[in-house]
Each structure stands twice: as structure tokens, then as C-alpha cells.
């Protein structure tokens, strides 16, 4: 997996001066580690990051910042990264000055040791330098994804190496941490997406959580030499293939300007899948479909519903809501859950503002419809801001939910036609979502002093959302820590 195999700093390979690791964590060798359930990626003798045990050990709540690290080396794309490092490796020693621009706080020797101490693959630690470098890139490179903008993915980011982050091993089935990058500086931040207990290993998911079993098996074998087990969320391959064909056809029709045909083409399969979802009318002997690989189909359904005109509410309830539920099947908080909930919040706010405009022009309109639309918008906003805070932090300048969701913020702040701005919308802009046991204050980017851990009681998880809505406000304020409902499928 993505981990070093030689010391790159203090005891047990502790982080160098280019990174900051939470004081409640430690790096342990292979004999100290245990394989995590649900598809852990570890080879014998490898290292991992663990929550410290022993006297004074603490649990770390959801949302806690665990690692902050500058990139060791960064290039525009994988080709340039390989070309750059392979050119350097033609010499017997890697010129350390090449790394100083990114690892601002690392000494030249630390930077060189960090690169060559990263895991290169089985039997490659003593291989010729160029072969080792190829292995290091393959096993450890990350793409520095930007933050979503108004619920949409950004342009692809640069590619680089973050040595301390490479110590976090892989788990697709039940990861407990997620990573994000500070815009502009490409500083990696890793946060807890589940409550972490003393002795627990921190596990990251290396690949897209929407990958089917076959896709992730190919990817992990090719890049990391690891196999991937199936789990109780994997849908039948033939069903995923049918959903993929339907999604591609609908998007082709949409690009051709035939939104109505695109919508009609997806409806039969959507209805079939709805019967297989929790609460549907599927065969009681067959477990409901929860595979995150189906999320893309429901995203496409939402897109074509909006484009078809007058079907935005259908797109929200039957498309984005279901996609959001699916991506949370293995990871309660993730880049995708933050992005999809932000997009759903924007759609819900638009629907609420449209309903306000209808009420303003027709006093005979039912107030119940307006109340329901406002309630849905507020619930989605609360949910989106919670996921944003857990995954991205949101405290640093340029990282806040409002800064990256300006369309929703503008709709909230501005009045509907012929109406004053609503006080409760404006109050939302100044509120802060609560987390499961508020994490300690985050350090400024690049700080390398230890952070004290807290162990606050985490509230019980609310029920999984149903009926086209996120958890209600009172559930969100209980922090929506995580639900273990889906994990009964593993038992």
C-alpha cells in the first residue's frame, strides 16, 4: 500500500518538518499492526498509523484533523512527475534542492530521505534507483483535487508525493479517514470520518468509492499489487453494466439537446432500481441494493430531470437524494458526500425560492407547499455544511462552505421577487454546524507542534435518510455521526 518502509524522520518513521501529525497518533511497524475488516491493504512488514494506546489514550471524534502535509514534489500531471523524478534519478544521488520549493520546512537531506524512504513495491527497496523511483510513484502518488464548486467537481489538480500520508494503509470496505487539499498550496489534510478508538489503525480508501468490484480489483492489482475482497454492498455485474449503458445513452441524448428522450430512457431502470432499494418492494430474500457504484446513474437521472424542465423536484428526490445515500454506504463522510449534498442544497434552495415567487404572485397558493420547500432547503443546507466541515474543515480562508457554494449563498441572501429577504435564511449564513464531539482547534497550515486530543461523547447516529430528504434539523444537530445499518450486510 502507500507507505514508507524506511525511517523518514523521528522514531518509527515519525513525520518530518514538512508535515504535522496529531499527537494522539503513532506510526508502528508490521508486527504491531492488525488487518482491518472490510478489505485492508497491508503487506507483512509494512507500517501503519495508529491511535496511541495505554495510559492517557483518547478517542478522536469525527472531523478531527489528523495530518497536515506539504507536498514533497508536485507537477502538473503524472507524465511530468515521472519525467522529473526519473531525470533526477540518472545521477547517483537525488539533488535535494529540487524538493525545497514544496517542502518549505524540510531540510534538503530530509527531503531526499523522505523520497527514497517511501515504499517502492515488493523487492524494490534495493533495486536500481530508476526502478525504485518508478515504484515509489506508482504506489504513493496522489492527485491534489481542488474543492467542489457549487456542488460540481473542479478541474483536475496537479500530481505529487506526500510521504507521511503514504503511511496510511488502504481499506475500501470501511475506511475511517478521508483526505482533502488546501486550495492553492496543495497541502494535504487528513481527517477522521468515523470515531477513532485507542489502538485502531487509520485506513484510507485509495480509489474512487464508486468503483465496482471488478474496477477496484484491476486498479489495486495494477498500481499496488493488492487484491480486493467483495463485500455485501457489491451489486451484480450485469446490473452495473446495464446502469452504465443507460447512463451513457442518456448523457449522449442530453448533449444532443434531447432532454425529454434522455429522461424517458432512464425511467424504466430507475423504477426497477427503486424497487430494489431499502424500503422498496424487492424480494425479501434478496438484500437491498446499496452499491455506491450506482450513484452515477442517479446523478445522471437528476441532471436529465432538471434539463427536461419542470422536473427539478423529481431530480432532487429520486436522483440526488438516492446518489447521496449510496455514496455513504462505505464512507459516512467523503469528498463525494460533501459535493452531492452541496449540489442538492443548491437545488433545494432554488425550489424554495421558486415556490416563494409563486406564493407572491398567487395568494391562493397553499402555504403547505412553501413550508415543505423551505424545510427541505434548510435540511439540505444543514447536511451539506456538516459534510463540508467534516471533510474539508472549512476554517481556513478560501475553504469555507460559503466561499465554494456562492450560488446557494446568493440565493439565500437575496430576496425572492417582490419579497424581502427571509430572516431565517440570513441567520443560516451566520450559523455553524456541530460535529460529533467538537474537534480541537486546527493548527494553521504548516504548523508542526502537537495538538492536544479530546475525547467527548459522540451522540448516537440518527436513522438513515428516507423519502427524498436528508436527516431533519434535529437529527443533524445530533451530528449524524454515522450509521452502521449497512454494515449488517457484512455479518
Distance CA 178, CA 71 (A): 17
Q: Which long-range contacts (CB under 8 A, 24 or more apart) does 141-147 make?
A: 141/78, 141/81, 142/179, 142/188, 144/71, 144/74, 144/181, 144/186, 144/188, 145/180, 145/181, 145/335, 146/181, 146/183, 147/180, 147/181, 147/183, 147/392, 147/399, 147/404
Instruction: Kindly provide the b/e burial profile for residues 411-444, where b requires at least 16 CB atoms within 10 angstroms of the residue's own CB.
Output: bbeeebeeeeebeebeebeeeebbbbbebbebee
DSSP H/E element including 142: strand 142-143
CB atoms within 10 A of CB 75: 18
Cα 87 to chain centroid distance, Å, stands at 34
DSSP 318: I
CB atoms within 10 A of CB 251: 16
Written as tens digits, the pLDDT of the chain (491 aa) is 333 322 233 323 344 457 899 999 999 985 344 444 444 555 444 789 999 999 989 999 999 999 999 998 899 999 999 888 887 665 545 554 444 444 555 566 777 778 888 888 877 777 888 888 888 888 888 999 899 999 999 988 999 999 999 999 989 889 999 999 988 889 999 999 999 999 999 999 988 899 998 988 888 777 777 777 888 899 999 999 999 999 999 999 999 999 999 999 999 999 999 887 665 555 555 567 899 999 999 999 999 999 998 899 999 999 999 999 999 999 999 999 999 999 999 999 999 999 988 888 876 667 888 889 999 999 999 999 999 999 999 777 678 898 999 999 888 876 554 454 455 554 544 555 555 544 444 443 333 332 333 333 333 333 333 334 443 333 333 333 333 332 222 22
Residue 372's pLDDT is 92
Distance CA 303, CA 286 (A): 30
Distance CA 260, CA 176 (A): 41
Helix orientation angle between 129-140 and 78-88, rounded to the nearest 10 degrees: 150
Residue 434's pLDDT is 57
| Spatial strand order in the sheet of 159-161 | 73-75, 159-161, 142-143
Residue 112's pLDDT is 75
Residue 11's pLDDT is 29
Helix orientation angle between 259-276 and 295-308, rounded to the nearest 10 degrees: 140
Distance CA 201, CA 175 (A): 10
CB 64 within 8 A of CB 438: no
Cell reading at 411: 440565493
**Which residue is it, cell 436527516?**
471
Q: Pick left, alpha or beta for residue 49 (phi over 0 → left; psi -120 to 50 → alpha; otherwise beta).
A: beta
User: Which residues are 192's β-sheet partners?
Assistant: 177
CB 327 within 8 A of CB 209: yes
Fold entry, domain 47-93+126-205: Beta-clip-like (2.170.270)
Q: What are the residue ranges spanned by the domains of the chain?
A: 47-93+126-205, 237-414
Distance CA 297, CA 269 (A): 10
The yes or no reply on domain 237-414 and CATH 1.25.40 is yes
With H, G, I as helix, E, B as strand and everything else as coil, classify residue 19. strand
Distance CA 464, CA 483 (A): 7
CB 107 within 8 A of CB 9: no
**Which residue is it, cell 428522450?**
261
Distance CA 26, CA 359 (A): 58
Residue 90's pLDDT is 56
User: Which residues are 19's β-sheet partners?
Assistant: 69
Task: Say whether pTM exceeds 0.85.
Answer: no
Nearest in space to 93 (alpha carbons), one of 112, 75, 66, 77: 112
Contacts of 69 (CB under 8 A, 6+ apart): 15, 18, 19, 20, 162, 163, 164, 165, 187, 188
Amino acid at each position: 500500500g502507500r507507505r514508507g518502509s524506511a525511517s523518514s524522520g523521528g522514531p518509527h518513521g515519525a513525520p518530518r518538518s514538512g508535515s504535522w501529525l496529531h499527537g494522539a497518533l503513532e506510526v508502528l511497524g508490521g508486527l504491531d499492526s492488525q488487518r482491518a475488516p472490510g478489505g485492508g491493504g497491508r503487506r507483512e512488514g509494512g507500517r501503519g498509523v495508529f491511535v496511541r494506546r495505554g495510559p492517557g489514550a483518547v478517542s478522536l471524534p469525527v472531523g478531527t484533523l489528523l495530518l497536515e502535509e506539504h507536498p514533497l514534489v508536485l507537477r502538473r500531471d503524472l507524465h511530468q512527475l515521472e519525467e522529473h523524478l526519473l531525470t533526477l534519478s540518472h545521477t547517483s544521488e537525488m539533488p535535494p534542492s529540487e524538493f525545497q520549493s514544496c517542502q518549505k520546512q524540510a531540510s534538503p537531506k530530509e527531503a531526499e530521505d523522505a523520497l527514497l524512504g517511501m515504499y517502492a513495491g515488493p523487492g524494490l527497496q534495493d533495486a536500481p534507483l530508476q526502478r525504485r523511483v518508478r515504484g515509489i510513484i506508482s504506489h504513493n502518488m496522489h492527485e491534489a483535487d481542488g474543492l467542489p464548486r457549487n456542488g460540481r467537481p473542479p478541474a483536475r489538480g496537479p500530481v505529487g508525493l506526500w510521504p507521511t500520508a503514504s503511511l496510511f494503509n488502504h481499506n475500501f470496505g470501511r475506511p475511517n479517514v478521508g483526505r482533502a487539499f488546501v486550495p492553492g498550496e496543495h497541502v494535504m489534510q487528513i481527517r477522521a470520518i468515523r470515531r477513532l478508538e485507542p489502538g485502531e489503525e487509520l485506513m484510507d480508501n485509495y480509489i474512487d468509492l464508486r468503483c465496482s468490484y471488478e474496477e477496484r480489483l484491476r486498479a489495486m492489482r495494477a498500481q499496488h499489487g493488492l487484491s480486493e475482497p467483495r463485500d455485501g454492498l457489491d451489486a451484480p455485474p450485469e446490473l452495473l453494466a446495464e446502469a452504465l449503458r443507460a447512463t451513457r445513452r442518456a448523457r449522449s441524448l442530453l448533449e444532443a439537446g434531447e432532454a425529454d428522450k434522455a429522461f424517458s430512457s432512464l425511467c424504466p431502470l430507475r423504477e426497477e432500481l427503486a424497487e430494489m432499494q431499502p424500503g422498496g418492494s424487492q424480494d425479501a430474500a434478496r438484500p437491498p441494493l446499496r452499491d455506491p457504484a450506482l450513484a452515477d446513474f442517479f446523478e445522471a437521472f437528476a441532471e436529465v430531470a432538471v434539463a427536461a424542465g419542470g422536473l427539478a423536484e423529481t431530480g432532487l428526490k429520486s436522483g440526488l437524494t438516492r446518489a447521496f445515500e449510496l455514496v455513504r454506504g462505505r464512507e459516512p463522510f467523503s469528498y463525494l458526500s460533501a459535493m452531492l449534498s452541496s449540489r442538492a442544497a443548491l437545488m433545494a434552495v432554488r425550489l424554495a425560492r421558486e415556490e416563494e415567487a409563486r406564493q407572491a404572485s398567487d395568494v391562493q397558493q397553499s402555504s403547505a407547499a412553501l413550508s415543505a420547500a423551505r424545510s427541505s432547503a434548510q435540511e439540505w443546507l444543514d447536511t451539506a455544511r456538516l459534510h463540508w466541515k467534516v471533510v474539508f474543515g472549512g476554517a481556513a480562508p478560501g475553504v469555507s462552505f460559503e466561499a465554494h457554494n456562492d450560488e446557494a449563498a446568493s440565493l439565500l441572501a437575496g430576496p425572492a421577487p417582490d419579497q424581502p429577504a427571509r430572516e431565517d435564511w440570513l441567520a443560516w449564513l451566520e450559523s455553524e454546524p456541530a460535529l460529533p464531539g467538537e474537534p480541537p482547534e486546527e493548527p494553521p497550515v504548516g504548523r508542526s507542534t502537537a495538538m492536544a486530543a479530546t475525547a467527548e461523547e459522540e451522540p448516537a447516529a440518527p436513522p438513515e435518510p428516507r423519502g427524498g430528504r436528508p436527516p431533519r434539523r434535529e437529527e443533524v444537530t445530533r451530528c449524524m455521526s454515522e450509521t452502521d445499518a449497512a454494515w449488517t450486510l457484512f455479518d
